[in-house]
Homo-oligomer: A and B are copies of this chain.
Amino acid sequence: MAQTPSTSTDNGIAAADAQVPATPAFSPLYQQIKALILQSLQAGEWKPGEAIPSEMELAARFRVSQGTVRKAIDELSAENLVVRRQGKGTFVATHSEQHVQYRFLKLMPDSGDRDSEGPAQRSVLECKRVRATAEVARSLALRSGDPVVQVRRILSFGSVPTILEDLWLPGNTFKGITADQVAGYQGPTYAMFEVEFGVRMVRAEEKIRAVLPDAQQAVLLKVEQQMPLLSVERVAYTYNDVPMELRRGLYRTDTHHYRNELS
């Protein structure tokens, strides 16, 4: 990693042959540093909420300048993997105590903000071991029939059932998860995943549709079957784009709306 301003453009890739590389495979130093920090993050060298070493320390460890470490951390920070706090340090991001609770939930009350309606009440209807259907397996990069945990729950705001959700989790990683754990944990469920299973969700993709509930769904949400609902299918990923959760939600949108910012 040592590299002075007058170093060659070698890049650490020991070419076994002198053929013209199809891809130059040029990767700036700060990207390599970023990858190394990412590895430590992934390996759990620093736990969620903890501080990572200071920029100077990391610079010394990797034998690069502070500026290079800085640029690496800049990107990690932009990806919400890490949070900088001036005067204090850089901390591993966490779904707990994050000033943005419910980072992945975009449903907002039509009037007021999320604080004004208070926290959601959760009631877990089911939490059972099942085998992955072809569809679930595809989303979670498993094989059909692999063990998964399915959780069904309802989120209510002001005692009005608003979200009906099904979660599918890889059975091996979430071995022994119980309904009580899902229902009883204080704070976001993704925070519980961090504490109890060491799984940190880093990003997610959602596919949104308008649908009508089936008979059972209508009963559970206490709405008529003619009421259109938002169907939100989410796949959440840990590090390295490994999918770790499939979630299908039905949202009432008569008093709430899904809010999105485009740029």
Give A residues with C-beta under 8 Å from B: 78-80, 103-104, 106, 202-212, 226, 228-231, 234, 251, 253, 257-263
A116: shortest Cβ distance to chain B, in Å? Answer: 17
Contact across chains for B209 and A262 when beta carbons are under 8 A apart: no
Contact across chains for A208 and B230 when beta carbons are under 8 A apart: yes
6 cross-chain pairs, A with B, having the tightest CB-CB distances, nearest first:
A228-B228, A210-B228, A210-B210, A209-B253, A208-B258, A203-B263
- Chain B residues with CB under 8 Å of A207's CB are 257-259
- Chain B residues with CB under 8 Å of A106's CB are 260, 262
**Copies of this chain assembled into the complex:** 2
- Chain B residues with CB under 8 Å of A253's CB are 208-211
| Partner pick for A80 among B212, B234, B261, B263, CB 8 A cutoff | B263
22 cross-chain CB contacts under 8 A? A103-B262, A202-B263, A203-B263, A204-B263, A205-B259, A205-B262, A206-B260, A206-B262, A207-B259, A208-B208, A208-B230, A208-B253, A210-B210, A210-B228, A210-B229, A210-B231, A210-B251, A210-B253, A211-B228, A226-B226, A230-B230, A260-B260
| Partner pick for A261 among B205, B210, B258, CB 8 A cutoff | B205
